[in-house]
Chain A
Amino acid sequence: MKPFQFIRPDSADTALDAISAENAKFMGGGTNLVDLMKLQVETPDSVVDIHRIDMGGFSETEESGLRIGADVTNTALANHPKVRKDYRVLSEALLSGATAQLRNRATTGGNFLQRTRCYYFMDTTRPCNKREPGSGCAALDGPSRIHAILGASDHCIATHPSDMAVAMAALDAQLHTRKPGGENRTIAATELHRLPGDTPNIETVLDSDELIESVTLPQPIGGTHIYRKVRDRSSYAFALVSAALVLKIHDGKIETVRLALGGVAHKPWRAAKAEKCLAGAEANDENFRAAAEAELADANSKGDQTFKIELTKRTIVAALSEAADRENAA
């Protein structure tokens, strides 16, 4: 671990000053960043802790949605009454991730910016285009059970490990950021992360000096919320595949469907093709399977993760079936 300067600004302005220094990184909970610093994967010269900045916590937006300060912990977010009631898929996603201790520390902004769990990314002795552009990808020919089946490239087959961000993508959440000089912008959760292409080292659309200040959720849309996470053990494991689903059925037909997938790609994967198949369709297993097939039509894998293509389809169908059963029972 390289020595670094630890800065604890008490306002967004001073934080943005600090982040302008060369090779500086924001730190939320530090549950991922600090681990990676110990492994020499992250080597910032300065770490800018956001905890003393007032990020506003929770409030209702003008559109009757929910505003969440970027420093809100995963525990607080998962247990917020409005999240439990109106954005249940988000609460379930958060509670399916990590451990209580980690959730107590991890932040909303930081969760979006988790790095991949790819073994080779975390091992500085092996080539990794994400960690060291141009060095190659050791995962392509190595053990790769946890790797991508959608949107990967010859340069990188890593997946994004977050559960929270998958639910945020399904819910059409928006991130609100700020840059030095006071420039603000709003980024859709579905647009935050990039596919790897030939620059897997560039993971998001954020600039290096851009601070996530808050996340907003739109007006609640009701429906049945399900976060189905399939993993290699029943707790404290990253998703092999996960599905964040909001489903509304009216008269046997699908009125609203929002579906995002985790564990399958370099980013939380909004399943637009499946949603298109399902919109207005009869809620039955045949249509669910057809939607899953459509979404995975371009799935691709040569390695250990190939089983995840079929697993993803089954997970989608299982989540849709369960949600439909609950909708029909309601």
Chain B
Amino acid sequence: MNDIIKGKWIGKPLDRVDGPLKVSGEAAYAAEHDIDAAIGFIVESTIANGSVSSIDISKAEKVEGVIAVLTHENAPKMKPWGDGADDRFQQSHGVLVDAAIRHYGQPVALVVAETLEQARYAAILISVIYDEKTPKLGIDRDDSELADGIDGGLEETNRRGDFEKAWGESDLTVDLNFTTPHMIQAAMEPHAAIAEWDGDRLTVHNSTQVIDWGVGCLANTFGIDKNNIRLLSPYIGGGFGSKLGQHYETILAAAAAKKLDRPVKVVQTRRNLFHDGPHRSRIEQRIRLGATKDGTLKAINFETWSTQAIGHPFTEGPMASAANAYRCDALHWTGKTRETNETINDSMRAPGEALGGITFEAAIDELAEKVGMDPLEFRLKNEPAEDPASGKPFATRDLVDCLKKGAEAFGWDARPKEPRSRMEGRKLIGYGLASAIRGNMMMEGSCQIDLSSSGHLTVRMDMTDIGTGTYTILTQIAAEALGLHPDDITVELADSDNPTTSGSGGSFGAGTSGSALWNACIAMREKLAKAGGFNIDPDGIAFDEGAMQAGDRSVPLRDVLKDSDGFSAEGSIEPGDEHDDYVQNSYGAHFCEVAVDIDTCEVEVRRFVSVFSAGRILNRKTARSQCLGGLVWGIGGALREELWLDERTGGYVNRDLAEYHLAVNRDVPQCEVIFLENPDPKSNPIGTKGIGELALCGAGGAIVNAIYNATGKRVYDLPVTLDKLM
């Protein structure tokens, strides 16, 4: 266990160090850099499958201020989509490469003008004639194939134990079919890019979660060396997975800048983004569970059918929620997919568990009811001793603690024992709970730190802060390790010239970048200790208040620094054997109360109590904010969000934030977030585990279970809109 961390800075609810810049508007987001750029506006395909047979840009070209109109006939050479890498984030994302259309909304032209207004006007004067083919859309179980792996590192099939036997030995079973809808990440900042070429060297300012993957994608798209690309993304207005990869705005900005030999900016409109960014695809799920009369879970079988975009292999796996949750004799799953003309389907916050945390946790509730057990008791009874999916030991396991603590804080004892048994006025009241489990991932990362002769520390890496608070927690880690005040630390992120890290995604960012920084600080402590004349293990030296102290000897850092050229150190991290030998998860438990109007069936979430165990908490304020955000997403996912696919075209019809219903303030009640702060030494040197997605996992499950408790009605087709309860 890490003994150096005393909690002087780590854990403290420090305000965001970048907060003043953001609230004063000084933090420049992707589209806001002071670069004299021409403006590009995307023209979308209005078919989902086929090709452009002709495109007339003559009227657009004549509009005042228009500099160029890029089409597949004149765009700079890019490699075809998918070239150069197996990795979907680093493969070529070439666009306007040929006349082919793979999905609705795919760019068929980019108008570049001096102003946005000119470009947008010219865009409407472009006429396109298509050679249209019937689009292949939607789930078709008979036309599906086994997925090539499931997102999050799961195999497409799991066959642990004998399912038929365990199912046969079950006294009570459920066999349920769920569907979850098309959804979209809808980050507040739309995707935007400014690109600029200097000879063969490309500089891009955009909004991206993983810098290194972005550089890889640009290199593969334009056929240039990674060393000739600089990608910067210092401030990001939310990603939620939608900015893991590079999207059309970035590729088109770079292509246009190359053609015109001047900087070009492209910002996707909100409506563009519903087609030209990624989304979460509709999934059909069949869940079979069996238990004996005493409530012992025997059998789990989880099958999914989904779709993926052409040339973009990605299969989301709700079965992830079943993989590590409860003991059973047999755990089988199968993930099937179908390649279609849908828009790009990719990660959306907590891919897998965000959905399984609703469907699987609802199925568990239904089985518990059949057995005649309280859903809490049923979960506690089926706590596994080892990982049900793999048989490996757990690194740490405190789901039971989360459930028990949450039950007590919430007042689970007062749960209506029978469905539809409690009313207040015209409202039906129900309680629900769900477990939260999310895989704890670790990636590779490295970091450079420089301590100047004046005592100011600069931290450099290509890590990103997507609004989660990365600048702040890294500041706290360095302050704790080196005994510096946060004001004496500058963290510089999201520049491809800096050492490479994981970036942000999969809740792996804080652990990976924080550990790389921690290791750099440990190396720095050694150098400073030596320079300070200490001849003992630096771990035995207290670094605090700008001084090193051991025994009765104290050396101010300024004494070591003043005549030096400063000190530099590097640190890195990679997943160790403990990520192979143990199953690593973050855990949690959600408890919520809903009120359902007996007349109109409107659902109101009245309160949430959620307990989370995500290892060491680096900042109790930003960690809580992450968890509150997860609960808000849980409400949206269970009750509100659904993109409506128009099966005649392959486009989505409710393409704005008025008609695509994210949860709003009034949908969100008081939420109590409780942390079990159990540092996990098997996870990484600082004992953290992933937190960014954890709170979403199971939040919707608690809501749908509470709705059942209130109304006696289970809805298997999400979201639970009022018409489904009538």
Contacts and interface: CB of A to CB of B under 8 A. Distances in A.
Given A1-B121, A117-B659, A120-B653, A234 B726 contact: no
Nearest to B654: A119
B648 to A, nearest CB: 7
Interface in A222-278: 230-238, 240
A314 B604 CA distance: 18
Nearest to B124: A40
Contact of B661 (A230, A233, A310): A233
B646 A230 contact: no
A125 B46 contact: yes
Nearest to B645: A143
Interface stretch (B155-163, B442-450, B545-553, B664-672): B664-672
B53 interface: no
A233 B121 contact: no
B698 to A, nearest CB: 21
Contact of B666 (A3, A235, A307): A235
B723 A235 contact: no
A315 interface: yes
A34 interface: no
Contact of A1 (B117, B640, B654): B117
A142 B648 CA distance: 8
B120 interface: yes
A311 B723 contact: yes
A233 B640 contact: yes
A311 B726 contact: yes
B44 to A, nearest CB: 9
Contacts of A307: 723, 726
Contacts of A317: 599
A2 interface: yes
Contacts of B726: 307, 310-311, 314
Contacts of B421: none
Interface residues of A, number: 35
A310 B121 CA distance: 45
A318 interface: yes
13 contacts: A1-B117, A39-B271, A120-B653, A138-B646, A143-B653, A145-B644, A230-B722, A232-B722, A233-B639, A233-B664, A311-B722, A311-B726, A318-B426
Given A3-B121, A119-B659, A232-B661, A314 B599 contact: yes
Interface in B217-236: none
A123 to B, nearest CB: 7
Nearest to B644: A143
A38 B272 CA distance: 13
B602 A117 contact: no
A232 B602 CA distance: 8
Contacts of A40: 124
Interface of B: 46, 117, 120-121, 124, 271, 426, 597, 599-600, 602, 604, 639-640, 644-646, 648-649, 653-655, 658-659, 661, 663-667, 721-723, 726
Given A143-B644, A307-B723, A318 B600 contact: yes
Contact of A141 (B597, B648, B664, B665): B648
A317 B600 CA distance: 10
* Chain A interface, >50% SS class: loop
B85 to A, nearest CB: 34
A143 B124 CA distance: 26
B510 to A, nearest CB: 31
Given A123-B653, A233-B667, A311-B722, 11 more contacts: A1-B117, A2-B121, A126-B649, A138-B646, A142-B646, A143-B645, A230-B600, A231-B602, A233-B664, A234-B664, A314-B599
Nearest to A119: B653
A141 B640 CA distance: 23
Contacts of B597: 318
B661 A237 contact: yes
Q: Which of B426, B658, B666 has the most CB of A within 10 A?
A: B658
A317 B599 CA distance: 8
* Chain B interface, >50% SS class: loop
Contacts of B117: 1, 3
Interface string A110-124: 000000010110010
A235 B658 CA distance: 10
Contact of B124 (A2, A240, A318): A2
Contacts of B658: 117, 236-238
B648 A318 contact: no
A313 to B, nearest CB: 10
Q: Which 4 A-B pairs have the closest CB atoms?
A: A143-B644, A307-B723, A119-B653, A235-B666
Contacts of A236: 658, 664
Interface string A309-325: 01100110110000000
Q: Which of B597, B648, B659, B726 has the most CB of A within 10 A?
A: B659
Nearest to B665: A235
Contacts of A143: 644-646, 653-654
A84 to B, nearest CB: 21
Nearest to B605: A234
B171 to A, nearest CB: 38
Nearest to A238: B658
A2 B124 CA distance: 8
Nearest to A318: B599
Interface in A170-190: none
Contacts of A235: 664-667
B341 to A, nearest CB: 16
A1 B648 contact: no
Contacts of B667: 233-235
B241 to A, nearest CB: 23
A165 to B, nearest CB: 18
Contacts of A315: 599-600
A64 to B, nearest CB: 36
B206 to A, nearest CB: 23
Nearest to A99: B664
A214 B436 CA distance: 57
A268 to B, nearest CB: 20
A133 B124 CA distance: 20
Interface string A57-76: 00000000000000000000
B346 to A, nearest CB: 23
A120 B653 CA distance: 7
A317 to B, nearest CB: 7
Contacts of B271: 39
Interface in A191-236: 230-236
Contacts of B655: 119, 123
Interface string A295-317: 00000000000010011001101
B148 to A, nearest CB: 32
Contacts of B648: 138, 141-142
A233 B114 CA distance: 41
A179 B649 CA distance: 44
Contacts of B649: 126
B722 to A, nearest CB: 7
A1 B663 CA distance: 30
Q: Which of A40, A143, A233 has the most CB of B within 10 A?
A: A233
Contacts of B659: 117, 119, 146
A233 B646 contact: no
A230 B726 CA distance: 13
